[in-house]
Structure 1
Amino acid sequence: MSRRTRRAAPAEGTPRPTVSVCRGCCCGTPKIPDVDHAGQLAELRRSLGAVATVRAVECLDSCERANVVVVQPSAEGRRAGGRPVWLGLVNDPDAVTDIVTWVEAGGPGLVDPPELLDLYTFRPSRRVQQELDH
C-alpha cells in the first residue's frame, strides 16, 4: 500500500458561473476615482442574477489592478477545461458589459471571452489564486 496521501476528488463546482467582485482596500473605493463602484456591482447583479452568482468579496490582494473581477466557471465549464479568469482594471462600463455578455453565453470553458477582455486578463500569484479557491 502506498504511503502517499490520496488527494480528494475535485469538487464538482457550482451549476452556474460565479462572478467575484473585489471590494476590499482599493477596489470599490474612492482610491479609484470617477467609477460608480456601487453601480458596477449593482449592474452585474441585475444583469447576471438569473445565470450566475455575483458576490462582493474582500481584498483579492491585487490592488495594483483595482477594480478586480474574477469569473469562475460553472461545473459544466470546469469539466470542459474552464478555469477562473482574473480581470483587472475593470473601471470602464464597456468592460462590465463584455463580462455580462460572456457570462450570459456560458463563461469560462464554454465560450471564449470577448477579445476586449484580453486587455484586462492577468494571472495572480499562486497564493492569491489558492485563497480564492478555498
Structure 2
Amino acid sequence: MSRRNRTEKAAPPSPVTVTVCRGCCCGTETKHPGVDHAAQLERLREGVGGSGQVRAVKCLDACAHSNVVVVSPSAEGRRAGGRPVWLGWVLADDMLDEITDWVRAGGPGLADPPGTLDLQEFAVSRRLREGLPG
C-alpha cells in the first residue's frame, strides 16, 4: 500500500459541465436559420463563469432533439445523486439563462432545475449516455 506524498495537492473538484452539441444538426444555420450559434455558446460561457465549464463537441448523436445541451453534475452533485441531464431544442436566450442559473445554483444533484427546463429534458439510450465525451 502506498502513502500519498503530503506535499502533493489533491486534484481540484470536478465542476458542473455543460456540453453543447455543435455537430451535423445542432449549431447549424441549415437546421436552425436565424439562430446565432456562436453567440449562444458565448452566452453560456459568460453565464456559467467560474461555476462550471462549457465545452462544445462535434456530435452527441441525438439529432432529433437539436440543439442538444447536456448538463453534467459536479463531483459533489454526483455524490448527492445527480446525473447528466439531456436538454433538447435549446434555441432561445431564456433557455440559456435558465441553464446558467441552474449551473450557478449547483447543477444536477445540488439544485432543482428551473421548471421550464423540464419541457426540454429527454431520455437517451445507455449507448449515448456512456458515449458522452469525458
TM-score (norm 1): 0.87
Amino-acid identity (%): 59
Root-mean-square deviation (CA), in Å? 1.6
Runs of 5+ consecutive residues of structure 2 not aligned to the other structure: 1-10
CA distance in 2, matches of 1:24, 1:49: 24
Task: Map 1:60-99 to 2 at 5 A.
Answer: 60-99=60-99
Runs of 5+ consecutive residues of structure 1 not aligned to the other structure: 1-11
How far has the Cα of 1:125 moved from its partner? 1.5
TM-score (norm 2): 0.87
Matched to 1:97, the amino acid is: D
1:46 maps to 46
| Residue 107 (structure 2) pairs with residue 107 (structure 1) | yes
How far has the Cα of 1:13 moved from its partner? 9.7
2:18 maps to 19
How far has the Cα of 1:133 moved from its partner? 5.6
Matched to 1:19, the amino acid is: V
Matched to 2:50, the amino acid is: A
Alpha carbons of 1:133 and 1:37: their partners in 2 closer, same or farther (altered >3 Å)? Answer: closer
* 1:54-79 superposed Cα distances (whole Å, 9 cap, x missing partner): 00011101111110000000000000
Matched to 2:46, the amino acid is: R
Matched to 2:120, the amino acid is: Y
Alpha carbons of 1:13 and 1:66: their partners in 2 closer, same or farther (altered >3 Å)? Answer: farther
CA distance in 2, matches of 1:63, 1:18: 20
CA distance in 1, matches of 2:117, 2:39: 20
How far has the Cα of 1:33 moved from its partner? 1.4
**Which moved further from structure 2: 40-49 or 108-117?**
40-49
Alpha carbons of 1:90 and 1:103: their partners in 2 closer, same or farther (altered >3 Å)? Answer: same
